[in-house]
Amino acid sequence: MKKINKKKEDDFLSKDWLISNTKTIFYAILIALVIRTFFFQPFFIPSSSMEPNLLVGDRLFVSKYSYGYSRHSFPFSLNIIKDRIFFNKIKRGDVSVFKVPTDTGPNEESFGVDYIKRIIAIPGDKIEMKNGVLTINGIKLEQKRIRTDKKVLKNGKIIELDVFLETNIDGKSYEIYNYYDDGPADDFEEYTIPENYVFALGDNRDNSKDSRFVGPIPIKNLVGKAQIIFFSTKDGSTILEIWKWPFGIQYKRLFNLIN
């Protein structure tokens, strides 16, 4: 009888342990989903389109509440919210994550991967670019050359890049790269940003697929505003590659605020 009772006791403890841990995992997942949906979501930088400000291998937090909430606030862009609620004003110069539109026109519902770019113009702005210099609402943006950077390309070639400090019409300044003059996207005619859209460019102006190629970005496609770099590894080595950490982690970039 004692052996039978002991077995029943072990079975009870085993079931109790399973239920307890299942609840813990469930609540942990629920809390993570709430944080990811309404507060902060981590993103990884896979390309050089936002250099020199964001580098390949940067991991950053994007605030979901900065522009209010839309379907893209939810995992898999679940169509829970029709448009956008608790909308907050978008500012020129914001570094933002958005779903790139794959269709054009006022009623597009198709969207692709997440892009991260800088918001250059907001609804109603008139924007044009000549020889790589932007003019917004008749005001030419100041570009001041501040230094030259060396960059190693994938083929091993080393090139020198001019770094300019661009100041927008609201007085916000940020660094941009210029690979070469007379680039294929250095010029476009004056364009008025439609209502409910923004115009976004990469800081690496000669190496960025942005609104010059995909068109203006619907405000409803905005995911959030990039706020802080919480982790960074050279050339994008993963967090799980622990053996690379002593040499791969870019310590100077950890917990840097994003301008």
Give the active site residues: 49, 117
Structure tokens given for 259: 């301008």
> Is 189:128 a contact under the CB 8 Å cutoff?
yes
> Is 50:116 a contact under the CB 8 Å cutoff?
yes
Distance separating alpha carbons of residues 87 and 50, to the nearest angstrom = 26
Distance separating alpha carbons of residues 222 and 219, to the nearest angstrom = 6
Q: Measure the CA angle with vertex 120, ends 136 and 65; round to 5°.
A: 140
Distance separating alpha carbons of residues 170 and 77, to the nearest angstrom = 32
